[in-house]
């Protein structure tokens, strides 16, 4: 599987008792790791024994350090050195598990940077013929700011399809809206992201927004995303599960109850599990259940996107995660 990381981060994860705005804090721990949704996708894939090829935008000196951190985790990385300096994401985890995330925008993408990312992605997508050739691509996370990033995901979808790859797109708001006419095979927004795109209203960042009838709202959102161009839409709703609409019909997969350490990266782990499932030939319904197990298992660890492999094995062996047919 092939993964594009267009706007990676240096993650700094801080743990403290209580965050009080306007005060000086001294966190108990501070951990620096490579970050970004696409990195978490690769971590989740590795929990299944799958090794993704990550095309990584790594601008500046800090970008080189993030590349070294990715190498230290033994990821398979194709480095693209662009202009500017890579962004930082600050993740604050309080003792009651409330999480605050400060996501920087990242440096603007130049015209030359855009061409380098797209051409490198296409070269990897074309790849050599044979058993090791990619069949699934994932484009995940926000895009850098600036006019040259506009529409980048739509072009990624077109280039993936030109080389016979199915593509999973995990993007939000304008980035997702611009890519839908290109017909991504699967889109995976959470419910808040889907509602922001479809209604134009900002409903917050929670993956479980305060709306009437979460199940019905999520199913309606998935259906509308398909009508807008996606071949399949999977709308995630945190602890409730995922709503699906598209080529495999309309269905729902409930999420299992698991011990929670950190929910950061759970949606990314879901995408990684989905990509592995599809790459292994599972149909969409079974791949979605496989993905739900992967996302749930990642909540039980403190590293974003890294599932608890023992818990993951138990969830997959239980047989309890199945797609339920639903009608609108």
| pTM for this entry | 0.92
110-168: pLDDT as tens digits: 999 999 999 999 999 998 765 667 899 999 999 999 999 999 999 999 999 999 999 99
Q: What is the CA radius of gyration of the chain?
A: 19
Burial environment of residue 98 by CB neighbours within 10 A (0 to 12, 13 to 18, 19 or more): exposed
Residue 295: is its pLDDT beyond 90?
yes
Q: What is the rounded distance in angstroms from the CA atom of residue 307 to the CA atom of residue 289?
A: 15
**Domains assigned to the chain:** 2-17+30-325 (3.40.1190.20)
What is the β-pairing status of strands 29-35 and 9-16? antiparallel
**91-105, 123-137, 193-207, 281-295: segment of lowest average pLDDT:** 193-207
Q: What is the rounded distance in angstroms from the CA atom of residue 300 to the CA atom of residue 260?
A: 5
Output the pLDDT for position 214: 83
Q: What is the rounded distance in angstroms from the CA atom of residue 294 to the CA atom of residue 305?
A: 9
263, 6, 52, 39 alpha-carbon torsion, rounded to 10°: -30
pLDDT band at 261 (very low <50, low <70, confident <90, very high): confident
What is the β-pairing status of strands 29-35 and 186-187? unpaired
Mean pLDDT computed over 100-106: 91
């Amino acid at each position: 599987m092939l993964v594009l990381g267009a706007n990676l981060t240096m993650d700094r994860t801080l743990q403290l008792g209580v965050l009080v705005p306007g005060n000086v804090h001294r966190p108990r721990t501070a951990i620096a790791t490579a970050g970004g949704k696409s990195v978490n996708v690769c971590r989740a894939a590795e929990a299944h024994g799958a090794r993704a090829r990550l095309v990584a935008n790594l601008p500046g000196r800090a970008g080189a350090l993030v590349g070294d951190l990715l190498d230290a985790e033994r990821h398979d990385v194709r480095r693209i050195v662009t202009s500017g300096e890579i962004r930082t994401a600050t993740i604050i985890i309080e003792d009651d598990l409330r999480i605050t995330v400060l996501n920087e925008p990242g440096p603007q993408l130049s015209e030359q940077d855009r061409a380098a990312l797209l051409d490198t992605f296409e070269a990897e997508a074309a790849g050599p013929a044979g058993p090791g050739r990619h069949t699934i691509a994932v484009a995940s996370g926000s895009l850098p700011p600036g006019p040259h990033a506009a529409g980048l995901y739509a072009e990624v979808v077109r280039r993936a399809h030109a080389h016979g790859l199915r593509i999973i797109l995990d993007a939000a708001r304008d980035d997702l809206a611009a890519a839908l006419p290109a017909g991504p095979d699967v889109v995976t927004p959470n419910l808040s992201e889907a509602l922001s795109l479809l209604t134009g209203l900002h409903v917050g960042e929670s993956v479980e927004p305060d709306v009437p009838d979460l199940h019905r709202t999520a199913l309606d959102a998935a259906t509308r995303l398909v009508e807008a161009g996606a071949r399949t839409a999977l709308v995630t709703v945190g602890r409730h599960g995922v709503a699906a609409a598209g080529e495999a019909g309309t269905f729902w997969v409930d999420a299992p109850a698991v011990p929670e350490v950190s929910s950061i990266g759970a949606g990314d782990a879901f995408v990684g599990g989905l990509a592995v499932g599809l790459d292994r030939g599972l149909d969409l319904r079974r791949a979605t259940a496989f993905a739900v197990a992967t996302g749930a298992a990642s909540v039980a660890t403190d590293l974003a996107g890294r599932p608890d492999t023992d818990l993951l094995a138990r969830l997959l062996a239980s047989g309890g995660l199945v797609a339920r047919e639903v009608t609108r």
